[in-house]
Chains A and B, each alone.
Chain A
Amino acid sequence: MSEKVLMKGNEAVAESAIRAGCKLYFGYPITPQSEIPEYMSRKLPQIPGGAYIQAETEVSAINMVYGATSAGARAMTTSSSPGISLMMEGISYIACAEVPCVIVNVMRGGPGLGNISPEQADYFQVVKGGGHGNYRLVVLAPSSVQEMADLTYDAFDIADKYRMPVMLVAEGNLGQMMEPVKFKELKTEFTDKSEWALTGTRNHEPKIITSILLDPETMEKHIHKLYEKYALIEENEVRFEEYLTDDAEIIIIAYGLISRVARSVVDKLRDEGIRAGILRPISLWPFPNEAIKSKIEQAEFFFVCEMSMGQMVEDVRLAVNGAKPVHFFGRCGGVVPTPVEMFDNVKKYL
């Protein structure tokens, strides 16, 4: 690990990606994530074989990543909500073609051009697919600058391991805020990609990376293969964090930066003798279903707080499956809930 440095979340993503061996960055400016391309444009040209390419659109950026990672390189792109919408075509192709890549979405307010304030309303898009067809993304949601760095580093390994796109989602204010962060060492050993990466035919038969499977039976077989991989990921890659849940009767579920607001709410509830705790999903897909289910018996109710009109709450309801009440409180449009209003909303159900 490096020395502790004070850094913006966005810059921590960029630095951590470079330490994970990402030599190629393709992106397009959009607030509130532009510090990532700016950082990459300063650093990558100094690395042998490194390049920063400012793409003409987010559509091109994701397709450049598709090309670069198909050649066996570690590459990434980053954007914010409207730009991520543009990338969905490419992400669907990459998921089907089984090529690894890392995408970071520093989320802002929507729909439409919306605004540049933080929101969590891209959950449906990135967790449920976003692009066309049957596929999944691994979606990781950090709640601190340190976690921005750590999960970016891990995202490259997960992407390579399962040969699929991995997306990091962070609220705009998490990208902008500064916190102390330590970085992992520069990665030097990587997954062997010689089985599939395009390197020319000098030592092997022609290799093909494609996402067209015209015969329905073949396509179905391929989708089943993808879903076998996804089942494996649901088994092995679920990440979540708990705070004071052992004896909790009120289980607050929140991810990302808002989970830190929830933490102060839990402390205040505990001060009043109310046994509350937090279950924070870190992987939004695979979703921590079993962890939530394990709290059903002890819970009086679940309380989901999001910076959206309620998207993750649907997955919580699926996990709880009517066994206990699931209440929701959210602010949207870029408004961040205050601890006081979250506290008041929890107390409504006591």
Chain B
Amino acid sequence: MPKIEIEKNVCKGCGLCVRICPKNVIVISKGLNDKSYHPAEYIGEGCIGCKSCALTCPDSAIEVYK
């Protein structure tokens, strides 16, 4: 199963990955990271490994596995 890993403390919670994900499997976390942003978070299933989120992420916080 493909998956993504989001580096929680690098993410600024901009939501561009949430906007672009074709499977709607990324959400903005209710919790805060070290920089006081609400980081993006993978819901844990449904990723197809399309890399769109990693491509749009301005902070290079996402790695994709397939």
> Is there a contact between chains A and B in the complex with CB atoms less than 8 Å apart?
no
Interface residues of A (CB under 8 A from B): none
Q: Enumerate chain B interface residues (CB-CB to A < 8 A).
A: none
